[in-house]
Amino acid sequence: MKKKGTMAVAAAGLLLAAAGAQALELKTGSDKVATTLYGQVNRAAMYADDGYKDQFFHVDNDNSSTRVGLKGEVAATEGLTIGSVVEVEWQENPSNEVSMANESIAGEFLGRHFDVWFKSQLGKLSLGKGNAASTDTSEVDLSGTTVASYADLAVGTGFQFYDAASNSYPAGGITVGNVFDSMDGLSRVNRVRYDSPSFGGFTLGASLAEKDTNDAALKYAGEFDGTKLEAAVALANPGKGYSQLDGSASVLFPFGLNLTFASGTRDIDNMPAGGDDPFFMYGKIGYICKNLLADVGSTAVSVDYGVYENVKKQTTGEEGTVYGVQLVQNLSAWNTDLYAAYQNFELENNTSADYEPISVMMAGARIKF
């Protein structure tokens, strides 16, 4: 309880500082340190229909959660830069946790990054809690609509599938989050991480993390005659009885068309008899229009589709599919994004159950500072 209280007080102080950031001059113990206060608030209204019940929710959009942080950076020597990050998030009614049975979830401060790093011409070394090398490797996306949806589904995952055959929610239940998993790396962990310098757009990274977990990732970012290309692939050992391989790529053409693809699989250590490795594929096609509301900001639209197999029980025949439509309007002068999204989740397996589709609609705004 004492640790939670300490974090809450510290985070509340950051939020108060953020509220008065325009009037507050940030000072540090050394005039050599550049300090940046940053953050965002992301709130949305959400409607869900599971085929039996429907309900409205007021949520914090977990695609890009409400957060606040401080960055410090100092040029230690001519070739060495040292930096740090302290970042916490606050989510009341997270979009990935609310359900028909739990409409209201009390907010709390959670630590995202408590990190120090050292960067030179030899690469970057990071120490503390932060992204592992494999984090976001299945989430490369240049569509401009990631605040609304992307491969790591973070909206509606708390809802339970309703079985029309038995007219009930099965005992134990199967939620959207049980079935749809982007198999993305190690996420944010306590780790030592190294990232190489860029060689022709390629970087190599690796992490040694707590609980004997580890990973390695290869990433690429480049531009050719105005066409942007980003890609990543990673191998991770999450320490949960399986190893994991995932990757993604996204291309953005100068005229606004963009294509995104992601995939991943797990190698289960103790596979159930007759089972099969979990696997997913995800694709998105989008368009970014800079001239529709030229004086306001870019307009991005996209449609996506994903297939997720054998994620919950490694049982051959379990298949979840999702499709959706997204719209994001950037208000560049206000550092704000307005967005709307629709997603439909479906589940089939080799049992007698007849699961109803789950439809989720969401509209909201993200303001960055």
Q: What is the pLDDT of residues 172-201, one digit of tens each?
A: 889 999 999 999 999 899 999 999 999 999
Q: What is the pLDDT of residues 146-165, one digit of tens each?
A: 999 999 999 999 999 999 99
Separation of alpha carbons 224 and 215, rounded Å: 30
Q: What is the pLDDT of residues 91-100, one digit of tens each?
A: 999 999 999 9
Evaluate whether 74 touches 30 at the Cβ level (below 8 Å). Answer: yes
Banded model confidence at residue 291, pLDDT cuts 50, 70, 90: confident
Rounded to an integer, the average pLDDT of 23-31 is 57
Separation of alpha carbons 328 and 146, rounded Å: 9
pLDDT at 113 over 70: yes
Separation of alpha carbons 343 and 303, rounded Å: 10
The closest of 86, 105, 85, 87 to 95, measured between CA atoms, is: 105
Half-sphere exposure of 160 (CA within 13 A, CB side): 16
Structure tokens at 71: 């960055």
Banded model confidence at residue 21, pLDDT cuts 50, 70, 90: very low
Banded model confidence at residue 67, pLDDT cuts 50, 70, 90: very high
The closest of 308, 303, 90, 289 to 182, measured between CA atoms, is: 308
pLDDT at 278 over 80: yes
**How far is residue 172 CA from its own chain's centroid?**
27
Residue 82 belongs to domain with CATH number: 2.40.160.10
199: helix, strand or coil: strand
Structure tokens at 22: 């325009």
Q: Domain of 301?
A: 2-368
Domain count, the chain: 1
105: amino acid identity, one letter: I
- What percentage of the chain's residues is helix, strand, coil (to nearest 5)? 5, 55, 40
pLDDT at 25 over 60: no
Evaluate whether 262 touches 213 at the Cβ level (below 8 Å). Answer: no
